[in-house]
Structures are given as C-alpha cells and as structure tokens.
Amino acid sequence: MTIEDNEDRLLRSVALQNAESIRIARQRAEQQTETTLWEQANLLNLTHDSIFVRDMNAVIKYWNRAAEELYGWASEQAVGRRAHDLLKTVFPASLGQIEETVIRAGRWEGELVHTKKDGSQVVVASRWSLQRDDRNAPAAILETNNDITARRRAEEERERLRLLEADLAHINRVSMMGELAASLAHDIKQPITAAITDANTGLRWLAGEMPDLQEAREAIKRVLKDAARAVEIINHLRSLYKKNAPLERELVDVNDVAEEIIGLLRSEANRFSISMRAELAAELPKTKADRVQLQQVFMNLMVNGIEAMHDSGGELTVKSQLQDSQLQFSVSDTGVGLPTEKMDQIFSAFFTTKPQGSGMGLAITRSIVESHGGRLWATANSGRGATFHFTLPSVVKAVEPPTGT
C-alpha cells in the first residue's frame, strides 16, 4: 500500500468522524429544541390566560389548556384552523390595521369579541406579541386573552341603571312642576302684568301735547326689568324639567340656588298659609356642582316640607352654614313629622307615605347629594315636623373682608 493510499484512507476516516460529530450535534440540538418547546408549552398550560400561537397566515400552531376551557375547542380541533374564522372575531378596527401595528411596534392590546364553540360570545382583553425567526422576519403572533365578559356586563348594567335613574329624576321633576303649575303661572303673570302697565304708562307720557321723555324712558326701563324677570322665571322652569341635559359641574353659590327655589315656591306656600324663612350664612364658600341637580335637591326637600303642612300651615326654614370645612344645609318644617318606626326606609326607592307619591323623590335626592361627595339625612324636630340635612364639599374658601390698618 502506497503512502498516497494511507493518506486517502486517513482523510476518509476524518471526514466520516466529522460527519458523525455533526449528525450527533444536530440531533442533540433538535432534542434540546424539542425539550425547550415542550417546557415552554407546559409553562403556557400552567397559566390561567388563554393563549394560542398562529402563523402569519392566521393558522393556529399552538392552543393551550386555558384556551380549550374558555372557547370549548380541544387543541387538536383548533390547531391547523384559521384563528379568526374559528372564533368569528369581532375587531375594534380592521384586522389589517391591527396586524400592521403588531409588525411595526411588535405588540398590540385591545378588546375583542370571540364566539365560543357553544355559540355564546365572550369579551376578552387581548394582547398580541410578534414572534420573529432567526433571520428576524415576522414568523408568528402569540395571542393572550383574558375573559372580561362579566366585567363588561356589570359596566353595561351600571350604565343602564344610571340612565334609568336619570329618567326617574326627570319624571320626578316634571311631576313636581305639574303640581306647581298654577302657582308658577301666577309668578310669571306678575312681571308680565307689570310690563304691560309700564308700557301703557310710557305710551301716555309720549302721547301728551308735551311728551315727557324722561318719564317715558323710566317706564321703558321698568318694562325691560319686568321682562327680564319673566324670562328668568321661565329659564329656571325649563332647566328643571329639561330631559337629558348634560351634567355641567361648575362653581356654584348654593345660597343663590336655595333662594331661587324659595322664590319659585313662595306662592305655593302662601296658598296653604305657610311662611318661608331663609337663614343663609354670609360669605359661604362655593362648591363644584351641577346647578340644575342642586335645584332639584332643594325643590324636592322644600316641596316635601310644604306638603307636610298642607292641612295645618306652618313655617318652612332653609338654613346654610360652614361646618368642619363642609357646606351644610337644612330644610325644616313644622308639619306632621316623619314615621319614626320607618326612619331607615324613607330614602329607599319606592317608599312613600303620600297617597299619590312615587317614592322616588328622596331616593333621587340622596343619589344626587352623594354623587357630589355629600351626605343626606333626616331628624325629627323637638316640637312638630322634621328637618332634612345635607352636606356638600367646599372647594373655594370664603373671601375674608379686608382688615383695617
């Protein structure tokens, strides 16, 4: 055997050894990869989140146990099918736009609606994560979903109840306005009658042989003042019965609101020999509130007090004060008082002591006060009648008068 033959045999032996080493290394790498994937799959099966992986054609490649439990399809039924055909996914935007975001940013989060195997729908908080291959090209999307159906239904129910409460509040206001229509018509008639009288007076001053322009000018000023008063009354009424008016929180002088409602109800109180008295603290801080809703609070409480004194007459007192950095108000009557055995029920919806009452006035009043960060409660007077108290947060300090030097 020649030297060349020996070298050739040696080279072939080394090549075979290298090939075997490469085969063994590749086999070990594949085994390690399979082990890693198996470990990852086990980890994904341990989570409570439903997770599936789909390729860039949306074909499902992996489906964990939580996905089986949430959607009802076993892994072998889901793998190989197009994800959003299987789940009949409803997207908040187009699928193309969402996938563009995933490729550009590497992730996307949002809410989706999926259909389960039994045909029912589930709302999920979905997170998409882009998976890339060893060449950094988009290879798959890992989708993680949390079932938020119960939370969404609860939010929808709260919104439905809020709208129902708003409708009931509107009905309550309209009902009270109907009861007060005759009295309020009298209030509106007064400035209109005065305006007509002043207009006729002005015409007489102008019709004389020597028109008195100064007197006519004063008469016209009174007409404008009377007309403005009538418009003011009408605007107050419109704000009270307007439905679906937007809630507008603004800085409000609550004493002004109380005086407005006292003015609207004074004629109604006079019909039943009821005097109205206001004891409102000077320089009271303002609060941030919806003015129309505060009008309704005072309207409800004052109308209740007036109705409690229909048969006997009496006195209705509205007070305000600053108590422990909070605004505190009270509406007190000298009427029939509250049913002491049912004091814990008077703010409950549909509870009423009036034959024609809806039982919603005080419940709505409490809801309004509490939505403004305050509290509403009632006490029996030492003599006749009852007092309703409520608080509101103070957000603007009273302006202190300047001190002398």
43 domain-assigned: no
* pLDDT bracket for residue 300 (50, 70, 90): confident
pLDDT band for 19, please (50, 70, 90 cuts). Answer: low
121 and 207 share one domain: no
pLDDT recorded at residue 293: 81
Same domain membership, residue 196 and residue 62: no
State the CB neighbour count (10 A cutoff) for residue 114: 23
258 pLDDT higher than 90 = yes
Nearest to 316 by CA among 262, 238, 255: 262
Output the CA torsion 70→147→51→64 (10° steps).
Answer: -20
- At 122, is the pLDDT very low, low, confident or very high (cuts 50, 70, 90)? very high
Give, to the nearest 10 degrees, the angle between helix 181-207 and helix 213-241: 160
Give the integer Cα–Cα distance in Å for 134 and 13. 34
Query: Residues 194, 251: one domain?
Result: no
The answer to whether the beta carbons of residues 177 and 241 sit under 8 Å apart is: yes
Instruction: Please indicate, yes or no, whether residues 115 and 130 belong to a single structural domain of this protein.
Output: yes
Q: What is the CATH number of the domain that holds 104?
A: 3.30.450.20
More confident residue, 202 or 173: 202
- For residues 253 and 200, membership in a common domain is answered with no
* Domain contains 308: yes
Ramachandran sector of residue 325 (left: φ over 0; alpha: ψ -120 to 50; beta: rest): left
- pLDDT of amino acid 96: 86
Which residues are 107's β-sheet partners? Answer: 129
pLDDT at 161: 75
Q: Of 136, 110, 137, give the one whose Cα is nearest residue 124.
A: 110
Q: Identify residue 193 by its one-letter amino acid code.
A: T
Of 147, 170, 192, at which residue does a domain stop?
147
Residue 103 lies in a domain: yes
384 and 278 in a common domain:
yes
Whole-number pLDDT of residue 41: 45
Tell me: do 237 and 252 sit in the same domain: no
Q: Average pLDDT for residues 258-271, to the nearest whole number?
A: 84
- Same domain membership, residue 271 and residue 230: no
Measuring CA to CA, which residue among 214, 184, 183 is closest to residue 201?
214
- Region 239-260: what's the mean pLDDT? 75
Indicate left, alpha or beta for 54 from its phi (over 0: left) and psi (-120 to 50: alpha). beta
Is 18 inside a domain boundary?
Answer: no
Task: Say whether both 299 and 206 belong to one domain.
Answer: no
Q: Is residue 360 pLDDT above 80, yes or no? A: no
- Residue among 143, 105, 151, 142 nearest 126 (CA): 143
Is 11 a member of any domain? no
* Tokens read off for 268: 């109604």
Write out the H or E segment, with its range, that includes residue 315: strand 314-323
The whole domain housing 188 covers 180-245
pTM of the predicted structure, to 2 decimals: 0.44
Q: Are residues 267 and 366 in the same domain?
A: yes
The span from the CA of 107 to the CA of 109, in Å, is 7
Nearest CA-CA partner of 228 in 188, 177, 184, 180: 188
Predicted confidence at residue 245, as pLDDT, reads 53
Q: Which of 105, 132, 147 is at the close of a domain?
A: 147
Q: pLDDT, tens digit, for every residue of 132-165?
A: 887 888 888 888 998 988 888 888 888 887 777 6
Q: Does residue 78 sit in the same domain as residue 118?
A: yes
Element (H, E) at 83: helix 83-86
